[in-house]
Amino acid sequence: MSRGSFNKAAALHLSAVGVLFALHFILPDYHHGNLARIMVLASFAMAYNISFGYTGLLSLGHAMFFAAGLYTAGLMAQFAGLGAAGGIILGLAAGFALAVAVGCLALRTTGVAFMIVTLMFAQAAFLTIFYFGEYTRGDEGFIIPSLQRHLFGLSLAEPAVRYFVALTLFALCVAVSYGVARSSLGRVFAAIRENEERTRMLGYNVFLYKLAALAISGAMAGAAGAAYGLLFGYVGSTFASIQYSIFPLLWVLMGGAATVLGPFAGTLLMFYLVDISSAFTTANMLIVGLALIGLILFFPKGILGTLRERVAPWLP
């Protein structure tokens, strides 16, 4: 890879964050709020991209890592009066710890068995939320008290603060993804995705690398979950359901697996597809379903994946 392409890629990602910064001053209220939400969800999608896109681990249980962060931050705010900074850090730690624990067991399997094991663990996590319904209030969920939704004295209910916290999280996730994609760690991840046996034969401890990918992914998803709860003030079991394991897969596929900005492109497109279609139909899931089928049939590489293939091979 030449030095020029390195600078080009770095410049692209910096300017993407720059554009999002500038949009804060331009966008009307409605889209401003949407974009904050999209940036947090895109962070979740980028977390999924680390394990699925770069390492080839198709998990169907990522909602549990998102929910681990969401519930850790939410419950700590509700019952221990913990503020936002601590909530996000603990949420990240919870996602990381759960990913390591699940990974130690689930990574003993591969392929279809891995999908089903992660699905089962996520289902168990989802049911656990109901089992402790006394605290989590199950389906109904709870509102995080606004007193706890403060970061360095600024209220997260304030649209501008919320936007910049979301942007910071998003920029950090882009930096981590970019770093992973460029590092030797990322090369090993890709090697595992392309041919696990060969990577093992070359002397790499495949299990440890896969565990590392899942741990990074879980930590990012946990942080995104905690931020989502604290920024928008609501914690509910929907975020732990199978749907929220499917969504990041959809977003990543749509934007392009194993591209840094693909998850964001996918989240943005899908969010507005559902948003616009809900103006004239209530069948959002029909759109999601058709999008999934259409994508896997005609664009298995996604938007940025196709771009990389045709126009910009330097895209990380």
Taking CB under 8 A as the criterion, the residue among 7, 109, 146, 183 binding other proteins is 109
Closest approach of other proteins to the CB of residue 114, in Å: 8
Name the nearest CA neighbour of 161 among 53, 15, 33, 4: 33
Residue 10 in contact with other proteins, rule: CB under 8 A: no
Which tokens go with 151? 């970061």
Closest approach of other proteins to the CB of residue 49, in Å: 15
* DSSP-based three-state secondary structure for 180: helix
Residue 84 in contact with other proteins, rule: CB under 8 A: no
Which tokens go with 239? 């975020």
Taking CB under 8 A as the criterion, the residue among 187, 296, 309, 313 binding other proteins is 296
Compute, in degrees rounded to 10, the torsion defined by CA atoms 244, 248, 249, 254: 130
Name the nearest CA neighbour of 72 among 238, 249, 228, 248: 228
* Residue number with CB closer to other proteins (9 or 254): 254
CA distances to 243, 255, 275, 295 from 219, rounded to whole Å, are 20, 22, 29, 28
Q: What are phi and psi of 155, to 5 degrees?
A: -75, 130
- Under 8 Å between Cβ of 40 and 22: no
Residue 249 in contact with other proteins, rule: CB under 8 A: yes
- Stretch near other proteins under the rule CB under 8 A, chosen from 88-96, 144-152, 194-202, 296-304: 296-304
With CB under 8 A, what is the number of residues at the site for other proteins?
A: 38
Residue 101 in contact with other proteins, rule: CB under 8 A: no
* Residue number with CB closer to other proteins (36 or 252): 252
Closest approach of other proteins to the CB of residue 44, in Å: 18
* DSSP-based three-state secondary structure for 154: strand
Residue 187 in contact with other proteins, rule: CB under 8 A: no
Contact string (CB under 8 A) for other proteins, positions 42-61, x = contact: ----------------x-x-
CA distances to 42, 48, 150, 151, 263 from 88, rounded to whole Å, are 16, 18, 12, 10, 21
Residue 202 in contact with other proteins, rule: CB under 8 A: no
Which parts of 258-287 interact with other proteins (CB under 8 A)?
Answer: 283, 285-286
* DSSP-based three-state secondary structure for 142: strand
Residue 97 in contact with other proteins, rule: CB under 8 A: no
Taking CB under 8 A as the criterion, the residue among 161, 165, 253, 258 binding other proteins is 253
Which parts of 113-132 interact with other proteins (CB under 8 A)?
Answer: 113, 115-117, 119-121, 123-124, 127-128, 130-131
Name the nearest CA neighbour of 130 among 118, 122, 121, 139: 139
Return all residues near 241 (Cβ < 8 A) that are at least 6 apart.
63, 126
Query: Interface residues with other proteins (CB under 8 A)?
Result: 58, 60, 105-106, 108-113, 115-117, 119-121, 123-124, 127-128, 130-131, 246, 249, 253, 283, 285-286, 288-293, 295-297, 300
